[in-house]
Structure 1
Amino acid sequence: MTSSATTPLIPRRVLFGNPDKASTQISPDGSHLSYLAPVDGVLNVWVGPADDPAAAQPVTQDADRGIRFYGWAYTNSHILYIQDKGGDENWRLYSVDLASGAIVDLTPVEGTQARLQQASPDFPDELLVALNDRVPELHDIYRINIRTGERQRVLQNEGFAGFMSDDAFELRLAARMTPDGGSEFLKPDAAGGWSPWMHIAMEDTLTTSPVGFNKAGDTMYMLDSCGRNTAALTSLELDSGTQTVLAEDPQADIHGTLVHPTEKHVQAVASTFDRKQWQILDVTITHDMAYLRQVSPGDIDVISRTLDDGIWIVAYVVDNGPVRYYRYDRETRQATYLFSNRQALDGLPLAQMHAVVIPARDGLDLVSYVTLPVGHEREDDPQRPAAPLPMVLLVHGGPWARDEWGYDPWHQWLANRGYVALSVNFRSSTGLGKDFINAGNHEWGGKMHDDLIDAVSWATQQGIADPQRIAIMGGSYGGYATLVGLTFTPETFACGIDIVGPSNILTLLESIPAYWQPQIELFAKRVGDHRTADGQAFLTELSPLHYVDRIQRPLLIGQGANDPRVKQAESDQIVQAMQAKGIPVTYALYPDEGHGFARPENDLSFSAIAEAFLAQCLGGRFEPLGDDLAGSSLTVPTGAEQIPGLAEKLSA
């Protein structure tokens, strides 16, 4: 390949290792800056003076999986973070006293999952936390002191999927699903119970939800698709019921909001068709946003703000470089560069990501993203190579999620190895209106898969992809799509990589986590009803497990043993079925992982295996396994001999 001679091989460690710094935040009072950064190879929270980030020191002590989600308490002297064990998603909530260094487990109950319900500047020492310690299916609401860990139950959940609260720690709304697959919001009544207030039809449930309340508490902001296709931002006066549309985008759902930290009104909204766009609703930030657009290339995200709104932390996302973080002073209107998330990316031959709209066979527009190897773009059309190349179709999970433009390590990795990377927002993907989501109802393995095949056909017809060298790869739903690709359309793909993908939709729905039970109608109405005979027959038809004899091409499977969503049994059973029929498969199992690979050592080891696998199937470049398996928990129950060099590394 041309790129082998002209483009340096980017080490996997640069692409898949820990970021230098991530999740940058400013303390509510603006005195301190925080971020995630490695300590001995494990992500922890660092805190330093806002005017001297280089003086930051680690304040947490995680030595295993790394911390991924954290935030400031309104005390300005505490950090809050969550952590699970081995990927089991039984999150515990911790507080860190920055003065003493003491770490308090605020939810020290085994086998339960904590969810932060509400933090408020009105109660800086306390939190509302949802915890399923009484009934696994339901989260009760507790008031917890972050200094002492003392907790008091303030509401016993009698069947709700969740609650909406305000800064006064008042539970304003309860939500539950209805038998028709819709949702219902209820308000507290005079008798101490809950009375129905608003019903959302099934077709609107994934595009309609409350955002928050105004400062007075008499108006609720909502993302609302009722009576329209794309979700608009609306304000709803709670007493009169008057609803006003504040912002909308005919092509895409409003999906992001900038809310004033104390006044609580929405100042700007974002929507993404192919690229993120901001609409300004509050003229007081018009000049701020205009200035920030000139500071650095890329799509803007305001990711943290002080309570007085004087300081913003702003991130700039590009497709061919690291995320750049700035500290923006609104009074002086000056943005100061802080750092990037991956300095090692600077100066590397990274490829551009192109947004394209691919027509599906029934006329739907599939917003997609294609990345070509550097040096292969045609001068007259940079979205096409001079000659067809091997391609990897990357299928996102969810399926109620979406792909977006920006830096993507998988796209860069594949492009650097000589492949075209293609990501497709197939029907059921979010952000593109309710009609697009609902077009995927009961279409797992059906029209959702047709969209992927249509994208492959487009890529070959456009001269982008070599039809004999196309792989399919993805995680969760993307893993399922991979198995569908190799069983339902067995001659389309040269190989497949399934990461934590379900093989049997019936057993998947029968084994969902207990705390998903309040939302079971979501799956029943949109995927299929595993509780009825007809539904069971339908789901069986959608399940690749029953078609393993059709598999003709190599398959690599990655699975976390502690996955609470797609249990290990989903991978075990298809591996066993393939073995029973004498069909080769490589199975990479990680005993300390859940739904995906959180530990960098595990992520790196799987990417190394996947790279060797793709090179063998598609003929691209690859970096030898080297020591990229070191420190991982990788086990390979079967098929190690199918990956060049893997058996030798494991035996060594």
Structure 2
Amino acid sequence: MRPSSLPAFLHLILVLLLVWGTAQAQPAPAPAAAQPPSLQALFREPALKSATLSPTGAHVALVLGESAESDRLVVIDLASMKPTLSLLSEGSYLSYVNWVNERRIVYIMNPPITAASDMQLSGKVAAIDFDGSNRRDNFQRAYVQALLARPGPRPNEIFGTVDVSTGRGDTDYTDLFAVDTVTGHRRDIDTPRRSTDWVFDSTGDILAATRRDGTDTVVMVRTPGGAWRDVHRNGLLNENAIYPRHITPTGELIVVSNVGREHFGLFTFDIASGKLADKPILSSDRFDVGASFVESRGELVGVHYVAERPTTLWLKPELQQLQARVDAALPGLINRLHVPRTPTTDFMLVSSSSSTQPDQWFVLDAKTGKITARLGNALPEVSARALAPTRLMQFKARDGMNIPVWLTLPRELPAGGPPPLVVLVHGGPWVRGSTGDWDSEVQFLASRGYAVLQPEFRGSAGFGRKHFAAGVKQWGLAMQADLQDAARWAAEQGHADGKRVCIAGASYGGYAALMGVATQGDTFRCAVSWVGPTDLPYMFVKGVGDTSEVARRFGLPRLLGDPKADAEQLRRTSPVNLAGQIKRPVLLAYGKHDWRVPLEHGERMRDALERAGNPAQWIMYMDEGHGWSKAANRIDFWTKVERFLDVNLKNAR
């Protein structure tokens, strides 16, 4: 990473990219008849990737998408709105940027993918002062797999972790250390044996931790005498589970738990007695509540969480009032306040987005409650006026289970009847698919005239333990039936043309897309599948992909199916074995260096379809892994998807 040439370039950043007005809160209005966004506008490298407030609120660190393979780190003094630092990450992406203290910033540089091993290793860790001094490059190399957000207990330190493996793909435990960002000195932290996750108090001491035991997770707390005590055991299916999340400045342990409940909520946990509070701090009767915590001036002042969409519970009236003023200034958006930990100024940041608004960042004067500057927008060429909102709805599957589903309809509906439909299936699959926030893929499809349906099929996380558990061993079965039921529901409700439906997705979504045309060809006219597994038994083979030994031995047999006891089911629900049943058009795409779903999955599926007389449209990117990290590849891929859908869906009758 090198400093840029100075005055002219810094002035250009200020004038063209960063500073926006002094009193306005909204960008200039777009033309009334805004055109659909271009592929380049939707899938470019973000102009502004992140904004991180310094501990006192005096500075902000910005990551700008400089070029196809380089980012720029810029630090702005918020009082003067002048840059104090501009660094270019030549040939690398900045995957992590954080403040160590008010003067010092740590960052990770990741090179482009050139081999399958690249994604197994972290990039190079470096640090610099906000004024460009005391730079230290590459003081920690590939063994650093993550830097934790909180600084270490000593000046200039930050916590880092590395997985310690007993063999390829097998993690035995996670090592925690503190690294001095000035000297590069690494200091190991004493942690409970085989622990993998920790909760720190305000001084940097660990008071709660978890360790793996097969597929279970054991919760431990530290007694006043320093000994560790087991207080709870969480099973794989998250029934009656407790997960430590935060120690407040007053020493209270906050956990997420669904003990005796259907949904995860936020509770206090008494370390001395080992008991969970009877009443939650925060809960929902429809969603599992996850949370991150906001501390300022040594107090817990707020909780960021997600229910239907991201929101914040503020514990201070003045912050509630600020939130209300920001929401009034930026109506209809998800507005998140970023509060300094040790404020010496009145500055805060606001990050703002919605299903029709890409991420954008503002400067907020907390004293006046006014937005004073607009730092930038991730996708500045995209106009919200040309986009369509995403709504959360619900339908009943064929067995009566309620399935949440996100629906996005084209802004301009066709005159001759309902629009064609793309069922866009999320990956994972044991994750939540969406929060209804910005999604370039959804907006691309909707702007091209397609209704977009994103089902939170059974097995998806975030909607209660029954919903999650209903997906056990249901790949290609009840999970797949939910996708067909979603498409039929959309047609019955008049949202989409039931005769023109395509199924699409990546990773698990790519698998589901292939199963859709293999077993539900009467519903799905075509499939767009990228980086999807096609041979389920192959996922159990040691050394294939990044599946750990623990997952192969314990997790996958319970969630996906036992490779011996359920061998016939796994064979019947593998798309590579069903190529002869696929009569619909298929687009297949993979990255050559995919570390999670190796290229062989795609090549074998491609060859099977060709032998069956229904060759797929084949795409393979030589410089990608599990998904498209490069803007040029994203634009190329979606250009081909647009043509594929035009021929096989939009204009099909």
**Given that residues 240 and 258 in structure 2 are in contact (C-alpha distance below 8 angstroms), is that contact kept between their aligned partners in structure 1?**
no
Encode CA deviations 1:452-504: one digit per residue, 9 max, x unaligned.
11110011112222233211111111111111112121332111111111111
Distance 1:19 1:47 in 2: 18
> Could you give the per-residue CA deviations for residues 560-591 of structure 1, whole angstroms, max 9, x where no partner exists?
22222212222122122223333301221122
Distance 1:172-1:524 versus aligned 2 partners, 3 A rule: farther
Residues 124-165 of structure 1 show CA distances to partners (whole Å, capped at 9, x for unaligned) of 411221113664523322221112322233358864443444
The offset of 1:331, in angstroms, is 2.8
1:294 aligns to what SS in structure 2? Answer: helix
Residue 248 of structure 1 is aligned with which of 278, 283, 296?
283
Superposed displacement of residue 192, structure 1: 9.0
8 Å contact from structure 1 (residues 508, 570) kept in 2: no
Distance 1:470 1:333, change over 3 A: same
Structure 2: distance between partners of 1:187 and 1:85 = 41
Q: Is 1:311–2:344 an aligned residue pair? A: no
Amino acid at match of 1:522: G
Q: 1:202 to 1:561 in 2, by over 3 A?
A: same
**Residues 213 and 264, structure 1, Cα contact 8 Å, conserved in 2:** no
User: How many angstroms does 1:93 deviate by?
Assistant: 4.9
Report whether the alignment pairs 1:38 with 2:68: no
More off after superposition, 398-407 vs 146-155: 146-155
Q: Partners in 2 of 1:563 and 1:223 — Cα distance? A: 33
1:559–1:571 CA contact under 8 A, matched in 2: yes
Are the structure 2 counterparts of residues 556 and 101 from structure 1 closer, same or farther at C-alpha, using a change threshold of 3 Å?
farther
1:187–1:118 CA distance, 2 compared to 1 (3 A): farther
- CA deviation after TM superposition for structure 1 residue 91, in Å: 1.6
Residue 58 of structure 1 corresponds to: 86
Residue in 2 aligned with 1:545? 576
Could you list the per-position Cα deviations for residues 236-287 of structure 1 after superposition, in whole angstroms to 9, with x for gaps in the alignment? 12113343221111111212334214535362353323x4454444445322
User: Could you say which residue in structure 1 is the equivalent of 2:404?
Assistant: 367
Aligned counterpart, 1:646: none
2:497 partner SS: strand
Distance in 2 (CA, whole Å) between partners of 1:496 and 1:188 is 52
Equivalent residue in structure 2 for 1:394, among 415, 424, 428:
424
1:204 partnered with 2:238: yes
Deviates more, 1:540-549 or 1:158-167: 158-167
Q: Are 1:13 and 2:43 counterparts?
A: no
Q: Is residue 2:66 matched to residue 1:29?
A: no
Rounded Cα–Cα distance in structure 2 between residues aligned with 1:368 and 1:14 = 27
Which letter does structure 2 place at the counterpart of 1:390? P
Q: Residues 466-477 of structure 1 correspond to what in structure 2 (within 5 A)?
A: 466-477=497-508
Pair 1:346-2:383 in alignment = yes
- Name the structure 2 match of 1:107: 140
Indicate how the Cα distance of structure 1 residues 62 and 479 shifts in structure 2: closer, same or farther if over 3 A, else same. Answer: farther
Q: Which of 129, 143, 156 matches 2:160?
A: 129
CA offsets, 1:370-414, max 9 Å, x none?
Answer: 22222218xxxxxxx871221111111111122121332122211
Q: Which of 362, 365, 368 is residue 326 of structure 1 equivalent to?
A: 362
C-alpha spacing 1:81/1:302, structure 2 compared with 1 (3 Å): farther
Tell me if the contact between 1:209 and 1:224 (Cα under 8 Å) persists in the aligned partners. yes
Matches of 1:613 and 1:206, distance apart in 2:
46
TM-score, normalization by structure 2? 0.84
Does the aligned pair in 2 maintain the 1:140–1:157 contact within 8 Å?
no
Once residues 198 and 550 of structure 2 are traced to their aligned partners in structure 1, the CA distance between those partners, rounded to angstroms, is 13
Question: Which is worse superposed, 254-263 or 430-439?
Answer: 254-263
How far apart are residue 173 of structure 1 and its match?
3.6
Question: Can you give the 5+ residue segments of structure 2 that lack an aligned partner in the other structure?
Answer: 1-32
Q: What is the alpha-carbon root mean square deviation over aligned residues?
A: 2.9
Is 1:67 aligned to 2:67, yes or no?
A: no
Deviation readout 1:489-528 (Å, 9 max, x if unpaired): 1332111111111111221243566684455533332222
- For the 8 Å contact 2:34–2:383, the answer to whether it is kept is no
Tell me by how many angstroms 1:447 deviates: 1.2
AA at the equivalent of 2:356: N
The SS at the match of 1:246 is coil
User: Residue 614 of structure 1 corresponds to which residue in structure 2?
Assistant: 645
> Which 10-residue stretch deviates more, 142-151 or 295-304?
295-304
Residue in structure 2 matched with residue 94 of structure 1 by the alignment: 125
What's the TM-score once normalised by structure 1's chain length? 0.84
Q: Which amino acid aligns with 2:261?
A: R
SS of corresponding position for 2:584: coil
2:494 is paired with a residue whose SS is coil
Confirm or deny: 8 A CA contact 1:93 1:114 kept in the other structure. no
Q: CA deviation at 1:542?
A: 2.4
Count the aligned residue pairs: 601
Distance change >3 Å, CA 264–CA 554, structure 1 → 2 = farther
Q: For residues 36-66 of structure 1, what are the alpha-carbon distances to aligned partners after superposition, in whole Å with 9 as ceiling and x for unaligned? A: 21223433332222245574753241425x3
Structure-1 separation of matches of 2:243 and 2:342? 28
Of 423, 436, 454, which aligns to 2:485?
A: 454
Deviations 1:92-136 (A, max 9, x none): 351231423735224324xx4512246336424112211136645
1:314 Cα shift?
A: 1.4
* Structure 1, 131-140 or 328-337: larger mean CA deviation: 131-140
The answer on 1:573 being equivalent to 2:604 is yes
Contact 1:260 1:266 in 2 (8 A): yes
- 2:372 aligns to what? 336
Identity over aligned residues, as a percent?
22
In structure 2, what is the equivalent of residue 297 of structure 1? 331
- Between the aligned partners of 1:326 and 1:598, the Cα distance in structure 2 is 26
- 1: CA distance, partners of 2:274 / 2:228: 18
SS for the counterpart of 2:411 is coil
3-state SS of paired residue (1:260):
strand
Change (3 A) 1:230 1:190: closer
Task: Render the CA deviation track for 1:350-374: whole Å, top value 9, x for unaligned.
Answer: 2232332222222232222222222
- Give the equivalent residue in structure 2 for 1:140: 175
Unaligned runs of 5+ in 1: 1-5, 378-384, 622-652
SS of the residue 1:128 aligns to = strand
**Cα distance in 1 for residues equivalent to 2:589 and 2:45:** 20
Specify whether residues 528 and 113 from structure 1 end up closer, same or farther in structure 2 by C-alpha distance, changes over 3 A only. Answer: farther
SS in 2 for 1:24: strand
Task: Determine if contact 1:351/1:373 at 8 Å carries over to the other structure.
Answer: yes
Q: What is residue 356 of structure 1 aligned with on the other side?
A: 393
Partner of 1:220: 253
Confirm or deny: 8 A CA contact 1:128 1:143 kept in the other structure: yes
**Residue 407, structure 1, aligned to residue 441, structure 2:** no
Report the equivalent of 1:183: 217
C-alpha contact 1:473 1:496 (8 A) present in aligned 2: yes
Cα separation, 1, equivalents of 2:193 and 2:595: 24
Equivalent position to 1:424, from 455, 459, 470: 455
Between the aligned partners of 1:596 and 1:52, the Cα distance in structure 2 is 40
AA paired with 2:182?
R
The CA deviation at 1:555 is 1.1
| Match status 1:488 vs 2:519 | yes
C-alpha distance in 2, partners of 1:169/1:197? Answer: 22
Q: 1:48 maps to what in 2?
A: 76
Task: Specify the code of the residue in structure 2 equivalent to 1:304.
Answer: H
Between the aligned partners of 2:152 and 2:197, the Cα distance in structure 1 is 22
Counterpart residue number, 1:154: 189
> In structure 2, what residue type is equivalent to 1:50?
L
